A and B are shown apart, each in its own frame.
Chain A
Amino acid sequence: MSGPSGTDGMSGTGEPSADHPDVILCPGGPMLLRGDHVVQDEDGNEHRTWRPVSAVCRCGASAVKPWCDGTHKVLRKRGN
């Protein structure tokens, strides 16, 4: 992977380049989206992201879908 700091995989401070994916699937949790996206929910409504990182519900139980509200943790605790 190369970046603006060069092709040797090192930044100016001598640290190796880090992974920085656009999408992160959190085990047992939401999907994190970096940057601007339009997310279409299950009913076909479109929602534009506006945070630097947004969390999209993957457990289906969020009260603020398509976004995550942490409800997956309650399901996990109940053992569902």
Chain B
Amino acid sequence: MLTPESRGSLSEVVFRAMRTGETSGLAEAPPSDTAEDAQLTLWALYEQHYRGFEDVSGELEWDPQLIGVRRGLEQEFERTLRARMPEVPEPDGFAEKFFDFVADHDGPSLAAHVHRKATEEQVRELLRHRTIYHLKEADHTTWVIPRLSDRVKAAVMELQFDEYGGGDPNLLHAHLFVRGLEDSGLDSEYGAYINEAPLEVLEENNAMSLFGLNRRLRAASLGFLAAFEATSSGPSRRMAQGLKRLGFPESMIEYYTEHVEADAVHEQLAVRTICGALLEEEPDMHDDVYFGAWTSLDLEDRYAERMLKQWAA
């Protein structure tokens, strides 16, 4: 993957510094022009810790100037996300209250649109946007593992092992998506569609990295995971039915049917054996679990609202 096209003054200056290695002037980098400019810059800075860019030296992963820009952007992003948060439930009876919190959240549903109404072109656009996360599916949670107690760490691994295909690369969830993309005539190369990813997709991806890469936010990362899993089985079934209706290839349908079953397991693990266990050990992390959960629900709502409005559904 190459560095993306810039979307404003900040991304232009930062991407040039990344490509040339001349980062010393970044202390005087201009402010971002728009939220999209800021989020794309942050996305690229995080991406250095995943697969990186062919046109950026690996030496720059921990460059103090680039880390400085990232810190500023992620502090602002975290403040924005926290300001959006509603009141959270009381800490007693965590698992049932958490499932209720997610069930009571009624956001617009892309899966319902895909199920009944979406055109093939709309679904292809959705799949292109989903590549930004699905091609590194589950990786953001892996960052958290060394930061946990034995009990919670083992519980996260029990879930992650399934995400990573139980050790079989052909069954790795991200790889199931690669097969689906290729059979659908879409580009499966990592990061291929970053230049068309809208603000909401960048925010969703950046929130996962923000929580995964900052140890103090480990509870938010696991709360994000729990809400993400708890809103997956039903929508995945509707996605599979919509893809079938539109005649998408079997491998793309299977990606979603696999998530119907897998995430019915994962939601129980994420809520009970992962977040539940974490909160037994560290009850003061209760609000951060909900911070992560809310962020997951809210950012998906924002993306769905944008796309449904764009498609005038």
| A and B physically associate | yes
A interface residues, Cβ below 8 angstroms from B: 11, 13, 15, 18, 24, 26-30, 32, 50-55, 63-64, 67-71, 73-74, 76-77
**Which parts of B215-248 form the interface with A (CB within 8 Å)?**
233-234, 237
Closest A residue, CB atoms, query B157: A52
| Interface of chain B, main secondary structure | helix
| Interface of chain A, main secondary structure | loop
Is B307 an interface residue when CB atoms closer than 8 A count as contact? no
Is the pair A55, B95 in contact by a Cβ cutoff of 8 Å?
A: no
Which of B56-64, B115-123, B262-270, B286-294 contacts its partner?
B262-270
- Residues in B whose Cβ lies below 8 Å from that of A51: 162, 166, 262, 265
Is the pair A13, B262 in contact by a Cβ cutoff of 8 Å?
A: no
A26, A73, A74 — most chain B CB neighbours (10 Å): A73
A67 to chain B, nearest CB (A): 5
- Residues in A whose Cβ lies below 8 Å from that of B272: 24, 26
Query: Can you list 12 pairs linking A and B with CB atoms under 8 Å apart?
Result: A15-B151, A18-B154, A24-B273, A29-B268, A30-B264, A54-B265, A55-B261, A55-B265, A55-B268, A64-B261, A68-B264, A77-B103
B interface residues, Cβ below 8 angstroms from A: 95-96, 99, 103, 149-151, 154, 158-159, 161-162, 166, 233-234, 237, 260-265, 267-269, 272-273, 277
Closest A residue, CB atoms, query B281: A15
